[in-house]
Amino acid sequence: MSASTAAGGVRDIGALLALFERPAAQRIYTESVTQAEHALQCAALAEASDAGDALIAAALLHDVGHLLTVEETEMATPPGTDRHHEAVGAAYLGRWFDNEVTRPVALHVAAKRYLCGTDARYGATLSPASVHSLQLQGGPMSRQQCDAFRSARGWVSAVELRRWDDEAKCPGAATPDFERYRPLLVGLLSRRR
Ligand SMILES: [Fe+2]
């Protein structure tokens, strides 16, 4: 990576992290925590599970599509519309990060549908907001859909991410701040270029 490209990447990471300071990130996420708190809790759970840097980044950034879509489309789409935040987020992150980051992000909604289709106990653990969004997202996968999901690259990481995602809704949980992840994110830029 050239020095100018590296400097541009560092600026981009700054802009990316600044998304979490926007009003949308400070709103209460589902019923208990803000988007920023949710992102940090999810990353902390990934770290505690000894996930690699790419999966920690995916955990931190998996819902960035919500931040990108909520302000632009909230007024343009009726309540209860699925804005496909996972695809929006993965496409956005693909400017800087490789598939090890973007695939789990792109698949984390499908992973919820997969888990609902394969683990009867899993569905009972979902928050009310997740149950509601599940219906908008297509409901539990059929057996055929589950088989197809398991053939997708990155599906195991997506399931891991999904489980942290579901746990990362604890009001008041202590976490590192976003600055902790800046070097990790900058380090991942070189894999993309
Ligand atoms: Fe999430």
Distance, CA 11 to ligand 1 centroid (Å)?
25
Domains in the chain (CATH in brackets) are 3-192 (1.10.3210.10)
pLDDT digits (tens, 9 = 90+) for 142-159: 999 999 999 999 999 999
- Asked if 168 contacts 42 with a C-beta cutoff of 8 angstroms, the reply is yes
**pLDDT score at 192:** 66
Beta strands in 17-157 (DSSP E): 28-29, 33-34
Residues whose CB falls within 8 Å of the CB of residue 174, separated by 6 or more in sequence, listed in order: none
Q: How confident is the model at residue 91 (pLDDT cuts 50, 70, 90)?
A: very high
Give distance in angstroms: CA of 2 to centre of ligand 1: 34
Is the confidence at residue 110, as pLDDT, over 60? Answer: yes
Residue-level pLDDT at 76: 46
Q: How confident is the model at residue 132 (pLDDT cuts 50, 70, 90)?
A: confident
Grouping H, G, I as helix, E, B as strand and the rest as coil, residue 117 is helix
* pLDDT, position 75: 45
Q: Quote the CA–CA distance of 137 and 118 in Å, as a whole number.
A: 16
d(CA 60, CA 67): 13
Higher pLDDT, 62 or 70: 62
Mean pLDDT in the chain? Answer: 89
Kindly tell me if the per-residue pLDDT of 80 is higher than 70. no
Mean pLDDT of 7-28: 86
Q: Which pLDDT value is given to residue 133?
A: 86
**Cα 179 to middle of ligand 1, angstroms:** 20
Compute, in angstroms, the gap from residue 39 CA to the centroid of ligand 1.
Answer: 7
